[in-house]
Amino acid sequence: MKRLAMAAVTLVVARQAGMAVSLYLLGMAGASVAAGDAQDAIHCLSGFFAFAVLAYLSSALTEVVQAPLQAGLWRQYCLRTLDEFRASRLLSTRHNREKLGQWLMSEAGVTLHDVVPAAINLLSAALNIGLTLLVFSLLLGFEFLAAIAIASFLSLMLVVIFRRHTGRLANQLQQDRTRLNGCLSLAVTGSSVISGSSGLFAEQERRLSQNFREFGRTSLKHVILEQSLSTVPVVLSVVCVMVYVHGQANALTHTGEMIAVLPRVLQFFGIVHELSLVSSRSFFLARKASNLRSFISTLVPLNIEGEMDLRVHNLTHNLWITPQQLCDLVSSRQCASGRVLITGSNGAGKSTLLIRLTNLQDCLLLPAGEQIFAEEAGLSSGEAAKFRLDRILDVSTNLPPVLLLDEWDANLSKEATAEYSARLDDLAADHLVIEVRH
């Protein structure tokens, strides 16, 4: 990653240096034409084209380096966030898992995809303006430099002044996008369930439309702020340059240089505009990146201290024990083998107890009805359940000492349930199998 980042920086510097030198040579060619020295003008133009090609090639290579850098940052963030999520097993609730999945696949990917070009564009615009101002001062003098520098300075000041407002919009846009993604996910997964109810479908459609409108309003506010911050400095700079040009009407050499670099002057106004946009966007993305770093802290951990109205049956020894006795057994590491069944009404805390046990011992938890392996995609619920159990039981020698199963039989037929129960009996000869049954 560091090598890719250094390569990108080097290429950006090479591109802007090539553009600056080519601009200087173009100005010198204009001065030579004004002085009547055609041969020198041709030499300057040859150099101009050579450095322009260097800048073009550097720009193309920057795009090539940018793609793997974006993918690498996303991969690095996802792996680090998943490690942090796994480290706190109390966060492993269905709601948190769904929220994390939506975050990694949507907002995190979008933000990190935008961060790399934003950083490159900010460095590029800053170097472009700095080197272009240097060339303008060499060719046209301090007065012209001062006229152009006003736009750059005002652009920076406006961005700094409005950075807090930009940050607030960044937070709001992130929240709106996350909420919209969640609403879209519910619309997709629930479409088959509520298709027969026009009232429920209309309510879902209303909420989805409202989320789209809120996201659109926040996006519009951000674009208006960006364009406002970038337009004012350019208008002021154009006025200053016009005043300067009228003051140089009798200087023939200066006029030749100005005519030669006039396209670049017009382009420079666009660069000032771009710098304002990029600077504003950088504050915007910096706030979004800060939210990426703190995302795990927004997840709500599971409360495992409450009372649980459960029954725990040690099937191997035909003993009824309390949830606390089960926790003591697992934490004491004297749980070499056997099967334990947890029963209770809906909401009594069965899944909560399983998560609590993961904090007491090295365990493998198979949650209820959730896709674990990529190969499950496209399978029915029953086929997916069989696939998960087969994958786990086929590598039984590599399993941790405790296996936790949450409603593993919920989507299985009686015959399949009996078959896998027998295989779990075999596994329980040297593992502790703790299960919540449907």
Check if the beta carbon of residue 194 is closer than 8 Å to that of residue 200.
yes
**pLDDT tens-digit series, residues 191-201:** 444 444 455 56
Contact 352/383 with Cβ under 8 angstroms?
Answer: no
CA-closest candidate to residue 401, choices 325, 319, 337, 343: 337
Residue type at 124 in one-letter notation: S
Sequence ranges of the chain with CATH classification 1.20.1560.10: 2-298
Above pLDDT 70, what percent of the chain? 75
Cβ-based neighbour number of residue 127 at 10 Å: 17
Measure the CA–CA gap between 61 and 56, rounded to whole angstroms: 9
CATH for 311-436 is 3.40.50.300
Give ranges for CATH 3.40.50.300 in the chain. 311-436
Asked whether the predicted pLDDT for residue 33 surpasses 70, the reply is: yes
Cα four-point dihedral sign 359, 360, 362, 364: negative
DSSP conformational letter for 106: I
375-397 residue pLDDT tens: 777 788 888 888 888 888 887 66
Percentage of the chain modeled with pLDDT above 90 = 2
pLDDT (mean) for 207-231: 80
The answer to whether the beta carbons of residues 358 and 92 sit under 8 Å apart is yes
Query: Nearest-CA neighbor of 368 among 390, 343, 392, 385?
Result: 385
Q: What CATH number belongs to 2-298?
A: 1.20.1560.10
Report pLDDT digits (tens) over 238-295.
Answer: 676 666 666 655 554 555 555 656 566 656 666 666 666 666 667 677 777 788 888 8
Mean pLDDT of the chain: 77
Closest among 123, 142, 134, 152 to 24, alpha carbons compared: 134
Query: What is the reported pLDDT for 376?
Result: 77
User: For residue 346, which phi and psi values (nearest 5 degrees)?
Assistant: -60, 135
Total residue count of the chain as it appears in this document: 438
pTM here?
0.57
Q: 8-22 pLDDT, tens per residue?
A: 999 999 988 998 888
**Residue 50: how many CA atoms within 13 Å on its side-chain side?**
9
